[in-house]
Amino acid sequence: MENTDIRKAEIASYVKVEGVSAEEIASYIVIPPDTAMGDYALPCFRFAKILRKPPVAIAEELARAIKGGENPFASVEAVNGYLNFKFDRTAEAGRVLKEIAEKGSDYGASNEGAGKTVCIDYSSINIAKPFHIGHLSSTVIGAALYRMYKKLGYNAVGINHLGDWGTQFGKLIVAYKKWSDEIDLEKEGVMGLTKIYVKFHAEAEEHPELEDEARAWFKKIEDGDKEALKLYELFKEITLNEVGKVYTRLGIAFDSYNGEAFYNDKMTPVLDALEAKNLITVSDGAKIVDLNEYGMSPCLLVKADGATLYATRDLAAAFYRKQTYDFYKCLYVVAYQQNLHFKQFFKVIELMGESWYKDLVHVPFGMVSLEDGTMSTRKGKVVWLKDVLDKSVEKSLKIISEKSAGLKNKADVAEKVGIGAVVFFALTNNRIKDITFSYDKVLNFDGETGPYVQYTNARCMSVLRKAGAVDLVTPFASEELEGLNGKEGEELVSLIGRFSSVISDAIAKYEPSIVTRYLIELARSFNRYYLENRILNAEEKYRRARIALVNAVHVVLEEGMRLIGVRAPEEM
Ligand code: ARG
C-alpha cells in the first residue's frame, strides 16, 4: 500500500499538467487490471475540461513530453486516453546503487538553490530568561530547515534574533544590585537571574518605587552608562554561555547573533520612510500604522514615551536583512502565538511598497507540553530544556545498559540516543500541531521514534561490518540486481530513490517532519526486507547487490538523521 503511494507520487512528478498539482495527479493514478498494460495508468479524461482537449490527444502529448526527458520508466504509452507506465526495476536499482556508491553522504544533494540566499530566524532566545522546552521546536525546526536548504544548494543564513532589549533589563539590574548575594550566579546562572527577577515582581507589588528605579536603570543602559552596560553585558554573557552548551549538544550553530539591541540605531530610517509615505498615525501620542482596513489591530511602533517595540525592531531587522543578504526568502520560525505580529509587520512592509514583503514567511508551530502538564512560565513551573535533555540521556543509558550490556562507550551512545529522541520527537508531527512530550513515548525503541531509526541504522552497520570488504563501486550486472526483486526490495529501492525529492518537498512546505516520517518509513521498510531476505548468506550472485542495498539504506538513514539533527551511533 505504502509502496504504491510512493510509486504514484514518483510518476506524478513526471507528469506536468498546468493548473493541476502533483498530489492531485497522483490521486488519479490507478493500477490496471491487466499488468501487461503497465504497472500504473493515468486516465487523462480527468484533464479534458481544464485543457479543453480530448483525453486521447492529452495522453499522447503527455507521453511525448515524458519520453522527451530523462525518466525512470521502462515504457510510457498512450492507449485510448490512458497513459500507461512500466518501471524497469533492475535499471532503477542499478541507478540508485551506483549513485550512492559514488556520492556517499552527498547523495540526495542538488543545486536547486544555487544563487539563492535564505535567512532563517530561529531559536531566538531571550537574554536572562529560561531556555525552556518551549524553545525546543523553534530551535530544531529552524536548524533542520537550515541543513536541508544547504543540502539543496541554497546559501542559508541562520540568525538567532536575541531578545536582548527591553525594560526588563532595568528591572534585572535593580534586582541584581539588591539581591545578588541571595544567588550563586556562577553555579545557578540564568536560573539565578530568573529567581531574582521573579522576586523583583513580587516586591514591586508592595514597593512600586522599584519600578521607577528600574526605569531609571534602563534609561542608563540606553544612554550608555558604564555600570549599567557592564551588568547588561554580564547577563548576556551568562545566558549565551549557558544556551551555547545546549546548542553544542544539539549540534547547532548560528551565522548571526544580531538580536533586538542590534537594531537600536537602525529604526529611525524605517520610521522616517513610514512618515514620508504617510503611513504613520498618531494615537494618544503613540505612533501606529492603522491596519483596520485589513482586519487587524494597529501595529504599534513608538510608544507615547518614545520607546520602540518588538515590531519596530523586526521592521528594521527585515530591511537590514534584505540589504545585507539580498535574501530570496526570509523565514521566521516562531510559535503560532505570534501569528498576528508577523501578519502585521509583513503588511506594513507591503504598504511601504517593498515588493519583497512576499518573501517574508512566518513558519509557525504548535506548543510542546509535558505529560504532567508542567509548562507554564508565569507560575514559575518552567521546564528547562537542559533538564529534559539530561533526563532523556539518563533514561537512555538505563535502557541501553539493559538491552546491550556488552556495549562499549555506553555514555556516548546514551547522549546520542537521549538527545536524538527528543529532537526526533519534536520533528515527527506536522509542526502546527500541539504536542505532548513523554519520555516513555520518545524513547520507545519500537515506536515511531529516534531510537528506532538509530537502531535500524546500527543494524545496517552491523551487517556491513560483518560483510567485510565488499566492492560496491563496480557497476552491477542485471543478474546481480535481480537479487533485489520482490516486494520488499523494490519498495526499499523506490524509497531510497526519492530521498532528494523528499528534502525538496520538506523545504517547499517548511516541514522537516516530511523527512522524519520518511526516515520512519525507510527504517520500517528495511526491517521488513531484513526479515524476508538473506543478505550475508545470500546466493553468491545476489550477495553483493544486497550488501550494497544495506549500505544505501545506511547512507540515507544517517544522512537523513543528520538533516533533522539526530546523531547516529554505530552500535547500540
Ligand atoms: N525572542 C522572541 C520570543 O522568544 C522570538 C523572536 C523571533 N524572531 C523575530 N524576529 N521576531 O518570543
The residue ranges of every structural domain in the chain are: 3-87, 117-262+316-369, 385-564
* For residue 496, pLDDT beyond 70: yes
pLDDT band at 5 (very low <50, low <70, confident <90, very high): low
Residue 314 Cβ inside 6 Å of ligand 1? The answer reads yes
Collapse the DSSP code of 282 into the 3-class scheme (helix H, G, I; strand E, B; otherwise coil) and give the result: strand
- What is the pLDDT averaged over residues 156-167? 96
Task: Find the angle CA(410)-CA(447)-CA(483) to the nearest 5 degrees.
Answer: 90
pLDDT value at position 2?
A: 42
Q: Which of 82, 90, 3, 84 is nearest to 36 (CA)?
A: 84
Rounded to the nearest integer, the mean pLDDT of the chain is 93
Ligand 1 centroid from CA 259, angstroms: 9
Compute the Cα dihedral for 539, 544, 550, 553 and give only its sign.
negative
* For residue 377, pLDDT beyond 50: no
pLDDT per residue as tens digits for the range 103-115: 999 999 999 999 9
pLDDT value at position 380?
A: 54
Ligand 1 centroid from CA 252, angstroms: 18
Q: Which of 117, 52, 552, 128 is nearest to 356 (CA)?
A: 117
- What is the pLDDT averaged over residues 359-373? 89
pLDDT band at 133 (very low <50, low <70, confident <90, very high): confident
Q: Rounded to an integer, what distance in angstroms lies between the CA atom of residue 566 and that of residue 267?
A: 39
Among protein residues, the one with the nearest Cα to ligand 1's atom 4 is 125
Least confident of 447-461, 489-503, 548-562: 489-503
Q: What is the number of the ligand 1 atom nearest to the C-alpha of 314?
A: 10
Mutate to test the pocket of ligand 1, among 121, 334, 341, 368 (most ligand atoms within 8 A of CB): 334
Q: Rounded to an integer, what distance in angstroms lies between the CA atom of residue 410 and that of residue 406?
A: 9
Q: Rounded to an integer, what distance in angstroms lies between the CA atom of residue 194 and that of residue 217?
A: 18
Least confident of 200-209, 356-365, 387-396, 478-487: 478-487
Q: What percent of the chain has pLDDT over 90?
A: 84
* For residue 66, pLDDT beyond 80: yes
What is the pTM assigned to this prediction?
0.89
DSSP string over 45-105? GGGHHHHTS-HHHHHHHHHHHHHTS---EEEEEEETTEEEEEE-HHHHHHHHHHHHHHHGG
Q: What is the number of the ligand 1 atom nearest to the C-alpha of 334?
A: 7
pLDDT band at 378 (very low <50, low <70, confident <90, very high): very low
pLDDT value at position 32?
A: 81
Phi, psi torsion values for 134, nearest 5 degrees: -60, -25
Least confident of 274-278, 340-344, 372-376: 372-376
Ligand 1 centroid from CA 44, angstroms: 48
pLDDT band at 376 (very low <50, low <70, confident <90, very high): very low
Q: Rounded to an integer, what distance in angstroms lies between the CA atom of residue 478 and that of residue 489?
A: 15
pLDDT per residue as tens digits for the range 212-261: 999 999 999 989 999 999 999 999 999 999 999 999 999 999 999 999 99
Q: What is the CATH number of domain 385-564?
A: 1.10.730.10
Domain range 3-87, CATH class: alpha beta
Confirm or reject CATH 3.20.20.70 for domain 117-262+316-369, answering yes or no: no
CB-neighbour burial class of residue 542 (10 A; exposed 0-12, middle 13-18, buried 19+):
buried
List the catalytic residues.
Answer: 129, 132, 135
Long-range contacts of 468-476, Cβ-Cβ distance < 8 Å, separation of 24 or more? 470/543, 470/544, 470/547, 470/548, 471/544, 472/97, 472/101, 472/544, 472/547, 472/548, 472/551, 473/101, 473/102, 475/94, 475/98, 476/93, 476/94, 476/97, 476/98, 476/544, 476/545, 476/548
Mutate to test the pocket of ligand 1, among 119, 122, 123, 124 (most ligand atoms within 8 A of CB): 124
Cell representation of residue 68: 522527451
pLDDT value at position 7?
A: 76
Least confident of 1-15, 35-49, 113-127, 285-299: 1-15
* For residue 379, pLDDT beyond 60: no
Left, alpha or beta for 104 (phi > 0: left; psi -120 to 50: alpha)?
Answer: left
Collapse the DSSP code of 236 into the 3-class scheme (helix H, G, I; strand E, B; otherwise coil) and give the result: helix
pLDDT value at position 9?
A: 85
CB-neighbour burial class of residue 206 (10 A; exposed 0-12, middle 13-18, buried 19+):
exposed
Least confident of 174-183, 379-388, 458-467: 379-388
- pLDDT top residue among 347 and 374: 347
Q: Rounded to an integer, what distance in angstroms lies between the CA atom of residue 564 and that of residue 572?
A: 20
- What is the pLDDT averaged over residues 339-365? 98
Residue 334 Cβ inside 6 Å of ligand 1? The answer reads yes
Which strand (E) or helix (H) includes residue 205? helix 190-206
